[in-house]
């Protein structure tokens, strides 16, 4: 039996990943056992063999997880972008120091097993590791120049995880996720939260606030695509990655205006009318330093697939979160 740990298993992506593993197994293998770790879990959430409550900022919690020697570890947990920017110490403690402690713990446990324990670790990074100036499409070899604390923290985590893989203590795959939309539930503290809000709230008959201009362009993927990235990464042939274990995921590049038109095609003018423009200079500044489009050739060559367009992203939200909505 393969034992799987999802760090951040109470969050949206973690829950969807757990549901997917329960329904389909991993790489066709249904003989798996899934454990979730997070600060809290939603009531009636995804099935799991065990749910462990704890915090990444507590070293003993990390040590306990690593000592259990799971076969596959999905590390999804982080302080999100807006929160990391507003709370400097908190962001570096969770997105930086706890990742360093995690890699050290894995290396120590690998050594304690005389090299027998070599887990597959799939770690989620972010396109926020890139900052301006940008080429029209960012290539796989673009230098990391983050312009936010969150981006800097994720860049540091990438180097730490890649080095852990280089040392042979784990099979490491780091995937840079696009901004995940449309997120179900309530807005979170991510600066990118409005990208989901301007679709989710109108589809639920509620007002949405748009803090940036319509011509802002960004890189998106659906939650369904994100879980697909994670599962695919867990089964990759490590020999194909070479010395660079970090991959930028494919996605959909579109402007806010194009998002709104996709909403209009799905739900009509009445839904679009629920979007209220309220410029927010802090959000505009953060988002203005983010990348807009990519040429993720390595990930595509390795079989990662994303949504076809933003219309599909909207359809996925309706299918997965609003199944009783009229066609």
For 183, phi then psi, to 5°, come to: -75, 135
Q: What are the φ/ψ torsions at residue 124 (nearest 5 degrees)?
A: -95, 120
Q: Which of 70, 88, 150, 317 is catalytic?
A: 150
Distances (CA, A) of 86 to 100, 127, 227: 22, 19, 28
Phi/psi-derived region of residue 248, left when phi > 0, alpha when psi is between -120 and 50, beta in every other case: beta
In the residue annotation, 150 being an active-site residue is answered as yes
The whole-angstrom separation of Cα 309 and Cα 211 is: 23
Indicate the helix (H) or strand (E) that contains 38.
strand 32-38
Token pair of 269, please? 């003018």
Q: Are 166 and 243 in contact (CB under 8 A)?
A: yes
Closest CA to 36 of 60, 78, 4: 4
d(CA 311, CA 35): 34
Q: Of 242, 115, 127, whose CA–CA distance to 192 is shortest?
A: 127
| Phi (first) and psi of residue 102, to 5 degrees | -60, -45
- For residue 119, which of 75, 156, 78 has the smallest C-alpha distance? 75
How far is the C-alpha of 291 from the C-alpha of 192, rounded, in Å? Answer: 12
Q: Are 313 and 252 spatial neighbours (Cβ–Cβ below 8 Å)?
A: yes
Q: Which residues are catalytic?
A: 150
């Amino acid at each position: 039996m393969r034992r799987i740990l999802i760090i951040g298993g109470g969050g949206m992506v973690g829950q969807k990943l757990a549901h997917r593993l329960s329904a389909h197994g991993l790489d066709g293998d249904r003989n798996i056992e899934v454990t979730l770790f997070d600060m809290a879990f939603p009531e009636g959430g995804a099935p799991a063999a065990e749910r462990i409550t704890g915090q990444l900022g507590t070293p003993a919690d990390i040590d306990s997880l690593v000592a259990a020697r799971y076969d596959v570890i999905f590390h999804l947990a982080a302080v999100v972008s807006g929160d990391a920017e507003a709370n400097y110490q908190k962001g570096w403690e969770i997105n930086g120091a706890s990742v360093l402690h995690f890699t050290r713990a894995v290396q120590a446990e690998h050594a304690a097993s005389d090299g027998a324990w070599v887990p597959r670790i799939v770690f989620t990074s972010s396109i926020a590791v890139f900052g301006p100036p940008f080429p029209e499409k960012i290539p796989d070899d673009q230098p990391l120049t983050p312009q936010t604390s969150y981006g800097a923290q994720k860049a540091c985590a990438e180097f730490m995880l890649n080095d852990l893989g280089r040392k042979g203590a784990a099979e490491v795959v780091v995937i840079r996720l696009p901004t995940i939309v449309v997120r179900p539930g309530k807005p979170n503290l991510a600066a990118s939260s409005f990208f989901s809000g301007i679709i989710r709230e109108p589809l639920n008959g509620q007002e949405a606030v748009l803090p940036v201009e319509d011509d802002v362009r960004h890189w998106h993927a659906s939650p369904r695509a994100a879980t697909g990235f994670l599962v695919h990464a867990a089964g990759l042939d490590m020999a194909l990655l070479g010395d660079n274990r970090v991959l930028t995921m494919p996605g959909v590049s579109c402007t806010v205006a194009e998002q709104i038109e996709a909403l209009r095609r799905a739900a009509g003018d009445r839904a679009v009318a629920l979007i209220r423009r309220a410029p927010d200079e802090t959000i505009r500044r953060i988002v203005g330093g983010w990348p807009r489009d990519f040429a993720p050739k390595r990930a595509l060559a390795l079989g990662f697939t994303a949504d076809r367009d933003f219309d599909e992203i909207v359809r996925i939200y309706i299918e997965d979160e609003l199944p009783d909505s009229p066609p």
